[in-house]
A and B are shown apart, each in its own frame.
Chain A
């Protein structure tokens, strides 16, 4: 027997198995101090294992654990309910958003086309989503049209009637005040320049008369 086989037998001994060929092992232990010390330590090891006891749990630990588990279970159930409600709400919001988007798209198409849109033909049977959406669209469009008409009528009642425009002549009086101001300004300038123009006329007349007088002398 060698040291490897001796170690293998040691492990089998500590596994609780019976050791085969005990005489060969004893012979090896007599000749190998290292293996002899190891097997001797195994004796103390087995004695120490017998002294080992599983630690005892404190009183009240079971109740604490069960209470915590039950509380955790309730909390998780509440959380699951909230998640379900939130998911439902999110689904409704998405459905409303999609419906509104499809309605606005339908109305735009109708306005651009400028002609009436007939309800799409729906097969007999349970109401389809497309049919329901069309009905909702028609209802919203009618309501919007009625509201707009009523608003225009009420606004007309609030604003007084203005005199109708008669034609291009009516533009003159409207522009009269600024034209009058320009005319008055022109007259003012002419009056202010009158002495200057008179002096200039007199000087020019004297200049004409002077040569002719000289010629007479």
Chain B
């Protein structure tokens, strides 16, 4: 953990508004991105992001200052998303990544590929999806993901490998594969 993070946390604990804003700005993009991927719904993600930061500031005193702050916050994010998913059983899951894709649609077939990747992600089990997004989209190493999800590194690797195989299988089934040249 950097001294900068420790100082920022101390200022937050004293209730300094600018410090609280700085901490939110530092992690908001990643928390929101993870929420959108795990919930497949932007509006739900906005609500959950606010819950996540409420939790973060309520339990900031319990944070182990010898460890980095980011995995701790991402762990809270994954837990809140999991709780949210379990509570919205009766609500339909609106996969509004389709709108996101349409808005940013490239001119070539990559839009379809991106759509298939998103669709494959939405079909993954929540824990597989969390690991996949944290590794491939947020670029977090295995150790930090393990810390965030409170699981051994071996378990994280297994989950990620299975998630990849499921995504690859979907891409193959949907014909999104350019065959290697036959010998």
- Residues on A lying within 8 angstroms of B by beta carbon are 11, 14, 29-30, 36-45, 47-49, 51-58, 61-62, 64-66, 68-70, 72-73, 76
Contacts and interface: CB of A to CB of B under 8 A. Distances in A.
Interface of A is mostly: helix
Contacts of B33: 54-55, 57
B113 interface: yes
Interface in B128-183: 136-138, 161, 164, 167-169, 171-172, 176-180, 183
A42 B165 CA distance: 9
Given A37-B172, A44-B178, A51-B110, A70 B20 contact: yes
Given A44-B113, A65-B49, A72-B57, A36 B32 contact: no
B113 A57 contact: no
B77 to A, nearest CB: 13
A11 B161 contact: yes
A70 B29 CA distance: 20
B171 A41 contact: yes
Contact of A51 (B20, B114, B177): B114
22 contacts: A37-B177, A37-B179, A38-B172, A41-B176, A44-B113, A45-B168, A45-B171, A47-B113, A48-B110, A49-B117, A49-B137, A52-B137, A53-B104, A54-B29, A56-B32, A57-B49, A58-B46, A61-B46, A61-B49, A62-B25, A66-B17, A69-B53
A37 to B, nearest CB: 6
A68 B169 CA distance: 43
A126 B79 CA distance: 56
Nearest to B12: A69
Contacts of B168: 38, 41-42, 45
Nearest to A30: B183
Nearest to B161: A11
A69 B32 contact: no
B28 interface: yes
Contacts of A55: 32-33, 36-37, 42, 45, 100
Contact of A45 (B17, B106, B164): B164
B58 interface: yes
B174 to A, nearest CB: 10
Given A47-B110, A48-B117, A66-B24, A56 B164 contact: no
B53 A29 contact: no
